[in-house]
Amino acid sequence: MQRALTLAQGAAEQGEVPVGAVVVHRNTIVGEGANSPRARHDPTAHAEIIAMRAAAGRLGQERLTDCDLWVTLEPCPMCAGAIMHARITRLYFAAPDPKGGAVIHGPRLFDRPECLHRPEIYSGMREAEAADLLRTFFKARR
Amino acid sequence: MQRALTLAQGAAEQGEVPVGAVVVHRNTIVGEGANSPRARHDPTAHAEIIAMRAAAGRLGQERLTDCDLWVTLEPCPMCAGAIMHARITRLYFAAPDPKGGAVIHGPRLFDRPECLHRPEIYSGMREAEAADLLRTFFKARR
């Protein structure tokens, strides 16, 4: 999660909402991403999507079986859907997102009957730091 | 929708689930995609995601304001979430997807209270052709 927090901090410095993510496969980081839709001109460029695309490309496979995703914020519906498609084994997220989250808030996609793959879900590690990055970012923009 | 169907047919010929999508901006196609997670080693490579990323890149902006998305199948949670982030104006889909759809089935993401952007939604045009492509594809695989 330290690496994900560092990536989030880097996003903030670029004027992007500070969220960072890494994909870990057998104790090695195989993909990482910092939220960057503005810089990339890409509405799908959330940290999780970038990290999972990088990991799948590196591993040369469609799915991320045996991979864990660490992210500083609760994933949104787009990213939760991508986590399902990728068959991520364990999802670790730092801060909850009551407004935009889709894991323990809103549609709670992994708890729905039609959900095809539910990762193990762990949350709250480094939560204060991840939330503080977001709070500071939005406060400065007001 | 004709172009989206042609892209779906192309996906089938590559052994990918046949779904195609195009993004239209002022009567011009500015992005298109054929479902291709296997070939691209990318779990997020659904037709809609590819088409929206291409369109945003071409237009040089984070959002697809004033753009319409035409897709041969009802979008899944990942793609519906991306449609929200992209602020697509109108969504046209051909065939419904009772198992994986997230627009008029499952979580119905655009009807949820926390949904930040709901496109106008139209469905059913060229439905028989789009559904037939999928039926034929899955039948041949059994």
Report if pTM > 0.95.
yes
Question: Residue A117, annotated ligand binder?
Answer: no
Those of residues 55-114 in A touching chain B at CB distance below 8 A are: 56-57, 59-64, 76-82, 84-87, 99-100, 102, 105-107, 109, 112, 114
Query: Residue A121: helix, strand or coil by DSSP?
Result: strand
Cα gap A104→B99, rounded to integer Å: 22
CA distance A142 to chain B (A): 20
Per-residue pLDDT of chain B (142 residues; tens, 9 = 90+): 999 999 999 999 999 999 999 999 999 999 999 999 999 999 999 999 999 999 999 999 999 999 999 999 999 999 999 999 999 999 999 999 999 999 999 999 999 999 999 999 999 999 999 999 999 999 998 7
Give the CATH H-level superfamily of domain B1-136. Answer: Cytidine Deaminase, domain 2 (3.40.140.10)
Q: Which amino acid is at B38?
A: R
A18 neighbors A137 (Cβ within 8 angstroms) = yes
Would you call A37 an interface residue with chain B, using a CB distance cutoff of 8 Å? yes
Give the ipTM of the model, two decimals please: 0.96
Q: Which pLDDT score, from 0 to 100, does residue B142 have?
A: 78
Residue of A nearest to B79 (CA): A78
The string of pLDDT tens digits covering residues B97-130 is 999 999 999 999 999 999 999 999 999 999 999 9
User: What letter would DSSP give residue A102?
Assistant: S
Burial B2-12 (b: 16+ CB within 10 A, else e): eebbebbbebb
Residue of B nearest to A86 (CA): B43
pLDDT band of A19, cuts 50, 70, 90: very high
A63–B76: do the CB atoms touch at under 8 Å?
A: no
* In chain A, where the domains are located: 1-136
